[in-house]
Chains A and B, each alone.
Chain A
Amino acid sequence: AQSVTQLGSHVSVSEGALVLLRCNYSSSVPPYLFWYVQYPNQGLQLLLKYTSAATLVKGINGFEAEFKKSETSFHLTKPSAHMSDAAEYFCAVRGDSGGYQKVTFGTGTKLQVIP
């Protein structure tokens, strides 16, 4: 079965510092991976996705993620945190059956940005 593990339910960084949110996956098929962001009182929106093309994926708002097969990782980074980045971030992997429409989400990482 597919699964993702997000290390750290809460991460705090100073404004301007590097953001690193960790995600490790397990997949029985070639993985398609996603990062979503959830701002308070809103639904999730897509930050970026990996679908077996380039291993370094660039997303919105200056975020990027690197797919590393040897480490089964898909960590999310941003060089310089902004106050507006404070949100909850979810890593997700596509399912291995049913037309691959389903995804499995991680438990989320809440990012706090300290002024």
Chain B
Amino acid sequence: DVKVTQSSRYLVKRTGEKVFLECVQDMDHENMFWYRQDPGLGLRLIYFSYDVKMKEKGDIPEGYSVSREKKERFSLILESASTNQTSMYLCASSPSPDRGGHSQPQHFGDGTRLSIL
């Protein structure tokens, strides 16, 4: 069974701090994603990686960066945390399309609830 593990369930940081959120998947998936989830807004894609050292901006990348040095690990970095980055952060992974070109479902971690004070 696929497991996506996020390093912290709850995290409290202060404004201006540099914050690291870590995500590890154990199924050798090519693709990894970071989302933030806010009430009434659903999931919004922050960044996406389709290979080691490759990344692509999502819909709301401002204030965030990512790192993917190894295939199984995808880190989200808040360069200088601000209160409007208080949110639930979800990491996900998926394999590449199958031979028929069908997109594959994403597998999610349990989320990190981040509070910026």
- Residue A115 lies at the interface, judged by CB distance under 8 Å to chain B: no
Binds B, one of A13-21, A68-76, A79-87, A104-112: A104-112
With both beta carbons as reference points, the residue of chain B lying nearest to A110 in the complex is identified as: B39
Q: Which of these, B40, B96, B107, contacts A9 with CB under 8 Å?
A: B40
Q: Which of these, A32, A42, A51, A105, contacts B43 with CB under 8 Å?
A: A105
Q: Are B105 and A43 in contact (CB under 8 A)?
A: no
For B90, what are the chain A residues with a Cβ–Cβ distance below 8 Å? 43-44
Q: Which of these, B31, B40, B103, contacts A107 with CB under 8 Å?
A: B40
- Residue A63 lies at the interface, judged by CB distance under 8 Å to chain B: no
**Residues 59-117 of B contacting A (Cβ, < 8 Å):** 90, 92, 94, 96-97, 101-103, 105-111
Chain B residues proximal to chain A, CB less than 8 Å: 4, 31, 33, 35, 40-45, 48, 50, 56, 58, 90, 92, 94, 96-97, 101-103, 105-111
